[in-house]
Amino acid sequence: MERILKEQKQHIIYGLILLVVIIGFVLTGSYQINRLEKDYNSRVDTLSSSIEKKLQDKQDQITKLSGEIQKTSEQVTETSKQYETQFGELSQRIGDLAVDSESFSSVISDVIDATVTVVTNVGQGSGAIITSDGYVVTNYHVIQGASKASIYTYDGEGYAVKLIGYDVKEDLAVLKMVSNNTFDYFKFGDSDSLVAGQKVVALGNPAGLSFTATEGIISSPSREVSGKDYIQTDVTINPGNSGGPLINSLGEIVGIVNFKISNYEELGFAIPSNRVEKTVDEIMSKE
């Protein structure tokens, strides 16, 4: 009996030892799992931070590259504008050299057909055909207060007139010859490229005489008068010249003759072509 009790006690002790060993294994395994989990999470966090940093670096590089591309694009645009301006000035100077050797006669003969006379019941002036279907630009004061108007071309043909619109502040009006004919017309030049001393010619029908051309130079490409910039020229301007084209050596309109200072024959002023073209486009867009 005593031997049996002793064996049972030994079995209990062995069981307790085994239980302790098992618990130790369990605790050790749990510790290792927690340690592995922490190590895994740490590595994931480190990898995520690395990836985020690399992505941010790439984004910064893309942003920097985009800025450089934008800056380069702006530089290319600015350079292109400068080249266009220089090319325009060079073309004008080449034209002026040709004028020096051959005079304006050939240029005038090519464009005189696009010059018109605007006759109303209160007076008359000049104008310039600006489209092949007969749109004409002139000064507003040429038609101001008129109830009737006609347009006569260089060949003497008369046409009824439709008023398209006008801008009182700019002193410009757009008319349309009522006709299905096709007409010679002027192109607009760049008035911003004008320089002092450049040769120009005013075309028109002063004092109701036959069409005339008066040569002169640009005294100032931008002279402020009553808050607006005008082209100052020494071209002789007489009654009836108002609304007529001021052309360069390429036969382009660089201004529309507008007014002169009384008692001063060499103080004439024209509306710059860039302003004329903008105003004409605005008027015609409302037609």
Report yes or no on 14 lying in a domain: no
pLDDT for residue 57: 75
Q: Looking at the structure, tell me whether residues 175 and 93 fall in a common domain.
A: no
Q: Looking at the structure, tell me whether residues 246 and 113 fall in a common domain.
A: yes
Q: What single-letter amino acid sits at 202?
A: A
Q: Looking at the structure, tell me whether residues 182 and 243 fall in a common domain.
A: yes
Total count of residues recorded for the chain: 287
DSSP the chain: -HHHHHHHHHHHHHHHHHHHHHHHHHHHHHHHHHHHHHHHHHHHHHHHHHHHHHHHHHHHHHHHHHHHHHHHHHHHHHHHHHHHHHHHHHHHHHHHHHHHHH-SHHHHHHHGGGEEEEEETTEEEEEEE-STT-EEEE-HHHHTT-S-EEEE-TTS-EEEEEEEEEETTTTEEEEEE--S-----PPB--GGG--TT-EEEEEE-GGG-S-EEEEEEEEEEEEEETTEEEEEE-S---TT-TT-EEE-TTS-EEEEEEEE-TT-TT-EEEEEHHHHHHHHHHHHHT-
Q: Looking at the structure, tell me whether residues 110 and 88 fall in a common domain.
A: no
Q: What sign for the dihedral angle of Cα 136, 139, 140, 143?
A: negative
Q: Which of 126, 191, 193, 242 is catalytic?
A: 242
pLDDT for residue 107: 84
Q: Looking at the structure, tell me whether residues 90 and 167 fall in a common domain.
A: no
> Does residue 220 have an active-site annotation?
no
Report yes or no on 23 lying in a domain: no
What six digits make up the tokens of 270?
A: 């024209």
Report yes or no on 73 lying in a domain: yes
Q: Give the domain-ending residue among 102, 117, 145.
A: 102
Report yes or no on 10 lying in a domain: no
Q: What count of Cα atoms within 13 Å lies in the side-chain half-sphere of residue 124?
A: 15
Q: What sign for the dihedral angle of Cα 110, 96, 105, 118?
A: positive
Q: Looking at the structure, tell me whether residues 117 and 213 fall in a common domain.
A: yes
pLDDT for residue 27: 59
> Does residue 141 have an active-site annotation?
yes
> Does residue 155 have an active-site annotation?
no
Q: Give the domain-ending residue among 81, 102, 123.
A: 102
pLDDT, block means (10 residues), the chain with 287 residues = 64 66 63 66 71 75 77 71 61 54 72 92 92 96 92 91 95 95 94 90 76 87 88 84 91 91 75 96 90
Q: Which of 126, 141, 190, 191 is catalytic?
A: 141
- Provide the number of structural domains found in the chain: 2
Q: Give the domain-ending residue among 87, 102, 117.
A: 102
Q: Looking at the structure, tell me whether residues 238 and 280 fall in a common domain.
A: yes
- CB-based contact 245:253 (threshold 8 Å): yes
Q: Looking at the structure, tell me whether residues 73 and 207 fall in a common domain.
A: no
Structural domain of 250: 105-285
Q: Looking at the structure, tell me whether residues 139 and 278 fall in a common domain.
A: yes
pLDDT for residue 83: 58
Report yes or no on 177 lying in a domain: yes
CA dist 153 and 169 (Å) reads: 27
Q: Looking at the structure, tell me whether residues 91 and 148 fall in a common domain.
A: no
What phi and psi values does residue 197 have, to the nearest 5 degrees? 95, -10
pLDDT for residue 284: 93
| Partner residues linked to 172 by β-bridges | 167
Report yes or no on 131 lying in a domain: yes
CATH of residue 188's domain is: 2.40.10.120
Q: Looking at the structure, tell me whether residues 58 and 118 fall in a common domain.
A: no
pLDDT for residue 102: 46
- Does the pTM of the predicted model rise above 0.85? no
pLDDT for residue 56: 78
Report yes or no on 153 lying in a domain: yes
Report yes or no on 47 lying in a domain: yes
Q: Looking at the structure, tell me whether residues 186 and 254 fall in a common domain.
A: yes
